[in-house]
A and B are shown apart, each in its own frame.
Chain A
Amino acid sequence: MSASPPGNIRRLVRQTMTIARRDFVATVFTPMFLVFLFTPVLMLSFGLIGGMGASSVTSASVEKASIVAIVDPAQQEAMRAADARLRQLYARDDRPPALVMQVPTDNPAGQAHVAFSDKGNDASAAMFGELGRPTILYSGFGRRDANFLAQLAEETLRMERSGTTALSIPTLTSIARAQPSPTGNKRSAFFAVFGIFFLTLFLAGQAVGTMAEERNNKVVEILAAAVPLEAVFFGKLIGMFGSALLFIGFWGTLASQLDVLVPGGVGAAFRDIGPAVGMPVFSLLFVAYFAMAYMLLGAVFMGVGAQASTPRELQLLSLPITVLQIIIFGLSVQAVSKPDSWLALAVEIFPFSSPYAMAGRAANLPDLWPHLAALVWQLLWVAIIIAIAARAFRRGVLQSGSGKINWKGLVGR
């Protein structure tokens, strides 16, 4: 007597989860997983070390850098006040070099040129002459600093006329928007696309070697005899996805404490970034689209990797997929910046870019029904890719001549 289709599905699910559980345990309960889990710390450490090196080089040059104003002593107080006021408009790391004021000599033009050759004073721009019609010299990348000096001259003259005391005393208050702005939508769309891209790039590539492990251990014959290959592939994918979720859960929990971890209300600034569908729904959709992107790419990686016999072949086969992934990321970023364009529609429909683009859409547009359709569409493609991968494996590795996709065999007669 044949097993009923529901019975077959139950058995398929059970077999899939057996494979998934084995792979999850084999991945997570090893010392290597800790290394994997803390890879971002390693990346961050390397980034910090590199950043500190670059910063120390930059600081050394910034300490010496200056802009020079050759100005009458009577105007220097007003200029100092104008300089202080103008600098408030710049972010801390973006401010022009320190202002050095000099009393003009008989030859102010020569004095300005000397400022550029002074070893102890690395001038990027120097100003001389009447403030109403100043001459400003600059070298190399000093044009921005030269513009600052021009603005400084203007502001100094204004202050001379109105006095150095501020005429307007503003009160700055930070408020949270009731609705995210279109700019905030677009920012969250970019974060969504980048987040999914980064996570899948980082995590889905792991799937490439999982079938190679089975081939090397000769376990594949045992698995192939006991369960359908589709269940083997899907189970492995779920197992790897489980470990990916663990990774995301760990770092996501840390990230959710951003307010506590970062100083100066930087975390609060992120609250201005908001998706059009609202944060709770967006969070769910983000997880769902990450799952789909992971499954789609993981299935491709696994299917391709299953054909490889050596680590070299694995690397060679992985490269084109990674390049494709980067192209998809580029297209998705373009799409979310223009959510109503034909490109956006194309990228939302193309299965491999759909999870990225739809996550971006959730940030840009409030309607929900396209997401249900997209998730079904993407899930269908996961199934198609797994079936194709299993077919290729059956034909190429198990040497079975048929290689037909066994839909009926999966769910019964």
Chain B
Amino acid sequence: MITDNLAISATGLVKKFGGRRVVDGVDIAVPKGLIYGVLGPNGAGKTTTLRMLLGIIEPDGGTRTLLGHERPREVSDRVGYLPEERGLYPAMKAKDAIAFMGALRGLDLKTGRKRAVTLMEGAGLGHAVDSKIRKLSKGMAQLVQLLGSVVHEPDLLVLDEPFSGLDPVNQDRLEALIVAQRDRGATILFSTHVMAHAERLCDRLTIIAGGKARFEGTVADARGKLPMRAHYVPHFEGEGIAALLPPDAERDGDGWRFIVPESGVEDILKRLIDGGFGISGLAMERPGLHDAFVRIVGPDALKDQVDDVEVAA
């Protein structure tokens, strides 16, 4: 595998807990400079995969490189990480918390504090720079932690379920921040099980279920896994119309809904016009990522899902 243009490359990653394969041979290749999503249902193995990629835990099998290094620790100063379970020191001031997280990644504290103020002001949290973490709302604390993961301007930003627990306003702020990081040149890898964020943000994505990677590609590729759908409203109703439509056509209000066959919709429309039913309305729609996800993951994969292992508290 050519890894020069990859921020992350992993092959055959395996992790077992208690003899059970929580991650079972996952391959992942994240190109530099993109926003890359790791999607999957709860307990699919997303968090475990991210933790292995970062070197927090060691895989039981497979190989990985992070920013070209086989030992993730060697490049930890170039990586930012927002874990699924948020954690900050409650007695710290917000700007100090951000600076401390930067210091862990090699940024000196003085610079870290300056950048923290700038970042917080940019995120609409300027009024809270000197507030203790324990005084902040959950959403604000979460944003502070996210700012702490980017204060050292990392080349790679890994976010585990970054949107969970945020209200819509803060979700929009977070989306803007992620895009800004990508525009700065950073690679962003984030996990989620909320399709709307992935659909809006991801340049590429992988879908994990039951510890295995089920899909890798763009959002369009994923949606392309499902055929287009048509919603047809006839000009005249009458008996025999169902016989002219595809077998899977279903009544939907005044019209009919059916999957467009591979040969296209033209033949069907010609038959309907010739049959005297006419066309009052016709809408073609591509299925969303949500439908593609359900189709890709499938009920069998969901049956296999196991709990992601979290840091014991």
Contact = CB atoms under 8 A, between A and B. Distances in A.
| A and B co-occur in one complex | yes
B104 A15 contact: yes
A225 B83 contact: yes
Nearest to B68: A1
Interface in B1-49: 15-17
Interface in A70-94: none
A216 B17 contact: no
A257 interface: no
Contacts of B51: 225
Nearest to A12: B73
A144 interface: no
Interface string B44-58: 000000010011111
A11 B106 contact: yes
B87 A397 contact: no
Contacts of B311: 215, 218, 220-221, 397-399
Contacts of A18: 100, 103-104
Sort chain B's interface into a size bin: 35 or more
Interface stretch (B88-96, B166-174, B258-266, B294-302): B88-96
A219 B81 CA distance: 12
Most buried by B among A217, A309, A394: A217
Contacts of A215: 311-313
A309 B313 contact: yes
Nearest to B133: A217
B88 A217 contact: yes
A221 B57 CA distance: 11
Contacts of A224: 56
Given A22-B100, A225-B81, A398-B57, A217 B106 contact: no
A2 B71 contact: yes
Contacts of A22: 89, 100
A222 B103 CA distance: 12
B250 interface: no
B76 A227 contact: yes
Among B68, B71, B104, the one with the most A-chain Cβ atoms within 10 Å of its Cβ is: B104
Interface string A208-247: 0000001111111111111110000000000000000000
B81 A222 contact: yes
Interface of B: 15-17, 51, 54-58, 60, 68-69, 71, 73-74, 76-77, 79, 81, 83, 85-92, 100-101, 103-106, 145, 148, 309, 311-313
Q: What are the 5 tightest A-B residue pairs by CB atom distance, in nearest-first order?
A: A218-B87, A400-B57, A402-B58, A226-B104, A219-B87
13 contacts: A18-B100, A18-B103, A26-B89, A26-B92, A218-B86, A220-B87, A222-B104, A226-B101, A227-B104, A397-B311, A400-B58, A401-B15, A401-B58
